[in-house]
Amino acid sequence: MKLSGNTILITGGGSGIGRALAHRFHDLGNTVIVAGRTKAKLDDTIAGRDRMHAMTFDAGDAGSIEDLTARVLDEHPALNVLMNNAGIMRYEDLLADPVDVEIAEATIATNLLGPIRLTSALLPHLRAQPRASVVNVTSGLAFVPWTKTAAYNATKAGLHSWTVALRHKLRQTSVDVIEIAPPAVQTELTPGQSTREGYMPLEAFIDETMANFEADPDARENLVKNVHFLRFAEAEGRFYETVEQLNEALGG
């Protein structure tokens, strides 16, 4: 992935990791479109920045994704990078009677179907570009689950697998496929998370992520050191031990 001279669409760009990535890539000389549900947050993200644009959409709604696709391609035909960052994370009680499956349904629609639908819609355009990239933001919880967020973990594991498959299918095209798998980061993904002790500060995460891009722009995975404990648990033969450690630490 080249780091400048792109036209980039970043979903979930109104706050947290999405907003921070949007600002950093804009600082590198890219045109950046941020998309999300809340217009006020998007407007705040782009305030005072030329070559930044905002579009509202709902990642969990197929019709909204169709509308976003049409608008982006009409207004920004130079689009060559898609960053699927939009997502929700909600606590679940799998021992409730009954279990609230609506949480899982909403999470799957937003976190898994959303990126699949948007990428699929934009892929013919991206494949026609001289050089393009799809960047999917998953999670360390894709590799070791936290039981309080079972559906979230499952969607991120699914997105990881889909990303691997997409990368393989596009290996002889002009489209790079990159995965960012964050650890627990201080954002408002869940209430109070932005000040939660033990979570990685957002700016530190973004600093290391951008440094990784600069060191190896073509890496398949962009992993900060804080996520290695989860990402490589299975490969290092300590998966079930890590599941126990994670859920004991976080109260799973």
What is the mean predicted confidence (pLDDT) over 176-201?
93
- Mean pLDDT of the residues in the chain: 97
Residue pair 230/183 in contact by the 8 Å Cβ criterion: yes
Q: What is the dihedral of CA 235, 172, 67, 30, to 10 degrees?
A: 80
Give per-residue pLDDT as tens, 9-58. Answer: 999 999 999 999 999 999 999 999 999 999 999 999 999 999 999 999 99
Catalytic status, residue 152: yes
What is the mean predicted confidence (pLDDT) over 183-197?
91
**Strand spans (E) along the chain:** 7-11, 31-36, 52-56, 81-84, 132-137, 175-180, 221-222
Under the banding of pLDDT at 50, 70 and 90, the label for residue 178 is: very high
| Catalytic annotation, pick one of 91, 152, 199, 240 | 152
pLDDT of residue 49: 98
Give per-residue pLDDT as tens, 67-122. Answer: 999 999 999 999 999 999 999 999 999 999 999 999 999 999 999 999 999 999 99
Under the banding of pLDDT at 50, 70 and 90, the label for residue 191 is: confident
Give per-residue pLDDT as tens, 52-65. Answer: 999 999 999 999 99
Half-sphere exposure of 106 (CA within 13 A, CB side): 12
Domain ranges of the chain: 7-250
Q: Flag whether pLDDT at 143 surpasses 90.
A: yes
Angle at 69 between CA 66 and CA 73, to 5 degrees: 145
pLDDT of residue 132: 98
pLDDT of residue 46: 98
Provide the percentage of residues in the chain whose pLDDT is more than 90: 96
Under the banding of pLDDT at 50, 70 and 90, the label for residue 192 is: confident
CATH number of the domain located at residue range(s) 7-250 in this protein: 3.40.50.720
Reduce the DSSP state of residue 56 to 3 states and report it.
strand
**Which residue, chain included where needed, has tokens 């049409």?**
70
Q: List strands edge to edge, sheet with 81-84.
A: 52-56, 31-36, 7-11, 81-84, 132-137, 175-180, 221-222
Q: Flag whether pLDDT at 161 surpasses 90.
A: yes
Under the banding of pLDDT at 50, 70 and 90, the label for residue 193 is: confident
Q: Which residue in 133, 21, 6 sits closest to 86, CA to CA?
A: 21
